Amino acid sequence: MNTSTNFDPEISNQLAAPPMTKAPRLLVISNRAPVRLVRDHGRAQVEQTVGGVGSTFLRLLDRAGGVWIAWLEGKNQPQRIELPPDNPHFTMSFTRLSERDISDYYYGACNRALWPLMHFMTQNCSFDGRQWASYCRVNQIFARAAEAEIASCDCVWVQDFHLALVPRLLRQNGHRLPIGTFWHVPWPPEQVFRVLPWRADLLRGMLGSDLIGFHTPMYVKHFVDACERILGLRVDRANGMIFHDSAVTKVGAFPLGIAVDDFRDISMTPRVRARARRIHKSLRTPIVVLSVDRLDYTKGIEERLLGFERFLELHPEYRGKVTLVLIAVPSRTRVAEYAALKRRLDELVGRVVGRFSAGGWVPIRYLYTQFSTDELLAYYQAADIALVTPLRDGMNLVAKEYVASHIGEGGVLILSEFAGAAQELTSALQINPYDIDQIADGLYKAVEMPMEERHARMAQMRQSIESNDLHSWADGFIAALMKDRSIQVDAGLSPN
């Protein structure tokens, strides 16, 4: 098959930088690939599809060399591609999953068992032995793919809950490279985690890692509790160490950052600033409130709408002056719970619009779609207030992206106390997302907030995200992985 690559120009320029010889060659393993295969007049092209974390890993691999293993959706896709296309520094290798695997492993075990469990929502969990067997089988597929590449790399970095068993599978086959795992979602309290029928298998799979990273110290504590109380392992909480099988796994908090410079630079371009002005003008309202999320029951979108409705009830003086732009990105449309959520959301939006619309003013602009980076950043700039109220979130990058992109420093961030980002963005107006009266009160405080206070709060939050950006997060995790592994070897605590 004839293939070519087509990457965003700004990313391509950064990928052209010479590799750093001292950086370890990475073997990155993730469920989804940061690219997609498209066809143009019979010619296959591989296009970059993600920003944020995916772009950072592409840069890391280009800088240091290595391999990225992932599942690439679609038929007749290439098995491997070399990137960047003009001067390859690393390889992307794609696994093959059957339709049954995708159904049982991804839409089943991952999205109907582990996803709700990790977000403390056991009422949404569905545990199916066949789906768990598929999860184990797919993890073995990824582990075998990693074994074919591992000799050419210096360390392994496994991403997220889809591949929790891979570290132990690699250890069982005798591999001794440093293995790190980063858990991008929350980790629930031990009593909640216990409902998983395969809880011990999942923990043992993860403990094949030398280092496991979470977003917050609370999630680290929950994981250590689970290892101690479910597996009966000895732990050292002060130093983040779990002892097992004559080995040790370290755990720590590595709060995920964003590419602050990229968001700021793109936001300052004339095209984005002009688009932001057009958006604000088109809404024909003095105050714009923005809500951006994947359509997911963990994001608290229904509660957010109820809170906005309560705000309009309690403060009629702001009717006609405040518009909520609700951007809901389609997600997991094959999962029944998500289709039901979409129906409820449509009905709720319709109710609020029907109840309060008057004189050409519509209280909610509802956009069920996915935007390009430029368009999304224009909405960030157009918004006077960002309403970010997940019921539970590992980090929540929307909050950080809004702070980085709203370059005028006059914006206000309303943030759920249950988002990981709340521990860093302490100058946000933090609320309990389950309490619609708190949401309404947060909106009122935001619209009434003096400009001087807005500037001070935004400046403090911008300083926070700049001090821990995406690049420092990645470099810090890799440095900790390599350091911890060498200490363990010297102390005779490994092989893991």
Q: In the beta sheet, which residues pair with residue 180?
A: 157, 211
3-state helix/strand/coil string of the chain: CCEEEECCHHHHHHHCCCCCCCCCCEEEEEEECCEEEEEECCEEEEEECCCCHHHHHHHHHHHHCEEEEEECCCCCCCCEEEECCCCCCEEEEEECCCHHHHHHHHHHHHHHHHHHHHCCCHHHCCCCHHHHHHHHHHHHHHHHHHHCCHHHCCEEEEECHHHCCHHHHHHHCCCCCCEEEECCCCCCCHHHHCCCCCHHHHHHHHCCCCEEEECCHHHHHHHHHHHHHHCCCEEECCCCEEEECCEEEEEEECCCCCCHHHHHHHHCCHHHHHHHHHHHHHHCCCEEEEEEEECCHHHCHHHHHHHHHHHHHHCHHHCCCEEEEEEEECCCCCCHHHHHHHHHHHHHHHHHHHHHCECCECCEEEECCCCCHHHHHHHHHHCCEEEECCCCECCCHHHHHHHHHCCCCCCEEEEECCEHHHHCCCCCEEECCCCHHHHHHHHHHHHHCCHHHHHHHHHHHHHHHHHCCHHHHHHHHHHHHHHHHHHHHHHCCCCC
Q: What type of residue is 423?
A: Q
Active-site entry in 393, 441, 469, 484? 393
Q: 493 vs 210, 235, 248, CA distance in Å?
A: 11, 14, 6
Active-site entry in 89, 184, 215, 244? 184
| Residue 80 CB burial class (10 angstroms; 0-12, 13-18, ≥19) | exposed
- Give the integer Cα–Cα distance in Å for 401 and 327: 15
- Give the integer Cα–Cα distance in Å for 86 and 275: 33
Decide if 215 is catalytic.
no
Decide if 393 is catalytic.
yes
Within 13 Å, how many C-alpha atoms sit on residue 448's CB side?
A: 10
At 369, list the tokens: 């779609």
Catalytic residues: 184, 393
